[in-house]
Amino acid sequence: MKKSINKLEQISKSLNTQQTYYQFNKQDEFLSEKYRKGRISAAKWLNELIYYFIQKENHFVIEFKEHIQEQRKKLSSLDDGDFKQGLIDQLNTIEEMLNDRNHNS
């Protein structure tokens, strides 16, 4: 997902550049005002869509962590032993990876 987010961020930067160009560059007399407004409107809409998908990805990770916590609660009903400890250790490993991802991104 990191690659997807990076790609969306690159597109967003490009859209911001294009939006600024069409909003403030009046030297290109071959472009009508309606055309400029169309480009600006599309850039704004696409940036809003990108923001939505980036937020959706962030919520996906939160939801994933919630499922891990729910599973951890279910494990409390198991008898103590190596199997239960193996399950808990694996959940801990994944949670640490998720926490590192959140701190590094």
The tokens describing 29, both together, are 């007399």
Tell me, what amino acid is at 22? Y
Give yes or no for a contact between 64 and 83, defined as CB atoms under 8 angstroms apart: no
Task: Report CA-CA distances (Å) from 82 to 55, 57, 85, 97, 98.
Answer: 39, 35, 5, 22, 24
How many domains does the chain contain in total?
1
Range of the domain at 39: 2-104
- pLDDT tens for the 105 residues of the chain, in order: 678 889 999 999 999 999 999 999 888 888 899 999 999 999 999 999 999 999 988 888 889 999 999 999 999 999 999 999 999 999 999 999 988 865 565
pLDDT of residue 3: 86
Tokens 């990805």 locate to 57
